[in-house]
Amino acid sequence: MKHGGFNMAIKRIGVLTSGGDAPGMNAAVRAVVRTALYHGVECYGIRRGYTGLISGDIIKLDEKSVSRTINRGGTILYTARSKEFMTEEGQRKAVSTCKFLGLDSIVAIGGDGTFRGARALAKHGINVVAIPATIDNDICCTNYSIGFDTAANTAIECIDKLRDTMQSHERCSVVEVMGRNAGYLAMYVGLAVGATAVLVPEENIDFERDVIEKIRQARLNGFTHFMIVVAEGAGSASEIAAKIKEAIDLDPRVTVLGHIQRGGSPNGRDRVNATKMGYLAVELLLAGKTNRVVCTNNGRFIDVDIDEALAMNRRIQSMEVNVLAAMTGL
């Protein structure tokens, strides 16, 4: 079905997922495919990210290809990080694949590394739109990234269960969550579980003030169980537990949640937002826009230039830091 007002010179759109997987990626892929087909545009799935674009690992997608995928975690297109694509030669190979297969445009789903790859394709004349999908939620141009909400709720559920047994034994728990060099996931989860302390890479850490004193204060208030949430970029949970043991009469137990946070069926918010972002990505391409990122800003869906998006800086909001300080009693 074709609709007026669109750039119908676009006949074939490729879609890929790259970098770390995130719950909701399949919902975004599904939306790209269905929206493209709705407008009479063919859609091709590029498997294993930019690696597949270089090697030609590409399949034609239709409604059946994406049927019953909206609820599935991971990515049906697989994902990978490509060192070859970081080179000029690798990028030329990828562009040659696009031209050989007649791919007019690419929708790239992933994090900042995926965005840089999309920007490289744009510089070679390929129409691109990127969709933010990372549980780290560290894409500066958007308030929300696909997968964050599901990952946060997975971590919260795990810590709630862990707390049950830790409280029974009156122990200190040190839980490491994902996030690379970003503490958004740790901060969100820490607030949600009522952590004794939260350590994130964006904030300067005074171990005595930010951890030990908070545990001591909680003890004075009659608490016998203490939950320390650590972003992986803020330090090793094992090393932090060892420092706690050295400083105070406690024997902390370490839990590294790891890749379990990436798995599982996406929740409703991730499914719906991923669907809207996938739809908008195709609409942007058909409207003749390229080198764009689909974003959310204060509840609205917008699009920004990829170069602008990658140049932005983002910090944890001061309100979250202030709320955490109040909730932990310091």
CB 278 within 8 A of CB 30: yes
Please name the residues in contact with 89: beta carbons below 8 A apart, sequence gap of 6 or more.
none
Q: How far apart are CA 286 and CA 288, in angstroms?
A: 5
Please report which helix (H) or strand (E) contains residue 278, including its range.
Answer: helix 268-286
CA Rg value for the chain: 22
Q: How far apart are CA 248 and CA 212, in angstroms?
A: 7
Which residues are catalytically annotated?
136
Six token digits for residue 187: 């901060």
CB 138 within 8 A of CB 179: yes
Helix (H/G/I), strand (E/B), else coil: 178: coil
Which phi-psi region, left, alpha or beta, contains residue 152 (left: φ > 0; alpha: ψ -120 to 50)? alpha
Please give the C-alpha separations between residue 257 and each of 145, 158, 165, in angstroms, as whole numbers: 20, 8, 16
